[in-house]
Every structure is written in structure tokens, then in C-alpha cells.
Amino acid sequence: MSENVGKKNARLARILLLVAVAMFGFGYALVPIYDVLCEWKWIERDRPDDLKKVPEAAYIVDMDREITVEFMTTLNESTPMVFRAENKQLRVHPGKYYTVNFYAENKTNKAMLARAIASFSPAVTSSYFEKIECFCFSEQTFKAKEAKTLPMRFVINPKLPEQFKTITLSYTFFDNTEKSLKK
């Protein structure tokens, strides 16, 4: 009888080992799978901001429609800055150009290179949010204790589907000083 229990335990151990190997393989494969899915399905959302820079174009302004654009700002946990939008939200008409200012300040006693990364909610609205000028297009250089006003000029393409009444644009600033020095 103990021989039978030993065989069952050995079989169970092989099954558990196989499951562990399969889980590791699946976890290892997630990165390439994610890359393929993003490239295939969500190209617009994951494009870098500098590729989304568009020239100012003439749109017919839709004065009968208002969209609320909310501006959120966050800092990566290791970024010693102050960062905020001068306006928390703005009511806009599709097709009309707007400029919003952000405030950023280096809180350290040394120069810093920082980069802002944008994200949208709902994500699909990023295809209709056209930035003409933005601090997020390039890395920002801050001197010690320097404060800057950072403008962002944009328009909402009037082709934005009617169902979207609110767009949340969130910027996160990252300290790239060490990363840039290694280049």
C-alpha cells in the first residue's frame, strides 16, 4: 500500500512540476504577446507623443458641442519635482484650439532631465486629441531649483464620436537624469 502512495506522490510531483514550468513559460511569453497585440490592435494609444505631433489645421468648430477635458498630473515616486496643471479641467468645443499651461519645478540643488508621458482615458480618445505643441514631445532640462511654465496646445478633432463627453489627459513626469547620463 505504501508503494501505491509513493507512486501517487511521484505522479503528483511530476504534474506540479509540469504546471510550474508551464506557468513560467506563459509568463515569459507574455511580453512578446503583449507587444504583438499592442502593435496589431492599439497602435494609436501606444505611439510615442512625438509621433502624434500634428500641424495646426483648420477645422470647423462645433459650437453646439462641449467636451470636458480633465488634466491630471503625477510624478514617478523617484522624481523630486512639483508638477501641476494650471487648470484642472476645461470645457472645449471640438475644432477649436486651446492652450493649457502646466507648472513644473525642480526641487533639488542639481540639474535634472525629466520626461512627461501622457495617457488618456478613455484610451480611444487619444486618436482625436491632437497636440500641436507640448512639453511632452521632448525631454525637459531643469536647472537646480528652476521652475517653468510648460504650455500644451491642442484641439479635439470634431470627428470624435458623440458618446465621449469627458476626456481625461494624465501626465506623469519621470526623472531621466541618470538614464540620460548613461547614453
| Single-letter amino acid code for the residue at 98 | Y
Question: Would you state the pLDDT for residue 58?
Answer: 79
* Segments forming the whole domain that contains residue 71: 47-181
> 4-26: per-residue pLDDT in tens?
888 888 898 899 999 888 888 77
Pairing assessment for the beta strands 140-142 and 112-121 based on DSSP bridges:
antiparallel
Q: Based on the domain organization, do 87 and 148 belong to the same domain?
A: yes
Q: Based on the domain organization, do 52 and 37 belong to the same domain?
A: no
Q: Based on the domain organization, do 70 and 27 belong to the same domain?
A: no
Alpha carbon dihedral 172, 65, 157, 45, in 10-degree steps, equals 40
Q: Based on the domain organization, do 52 and 135 belong to the same domain?
A: yes
Q: Based on the domain organization, do 31 and 76 belong to the same domain?
A: no
CB contact set of 123 (below 8 Å; sequence gap of 6+):
42, 45
Q: Based on the domain organization, do 157 and 68 belong to the same domain?
A: yes
Q: Based on the domain organization, do 51 and 36 belong to the same domain?
A: no
* d(C-alpha 37, C-alpha 136), whole Å: 25
> 88-100: per-residue pLDDT in tens?
999 999 999 999 9
SS3 state of residue 160: coil
Query: What's the structural domain count of the chain?
Result: 2
> 148-176: per-residue pLDDT in tens?
999 999 999 999 999 999 999 999 988 88
Q: Based on the domain organization, do 30 and 65 belong to the same domain?
A: no
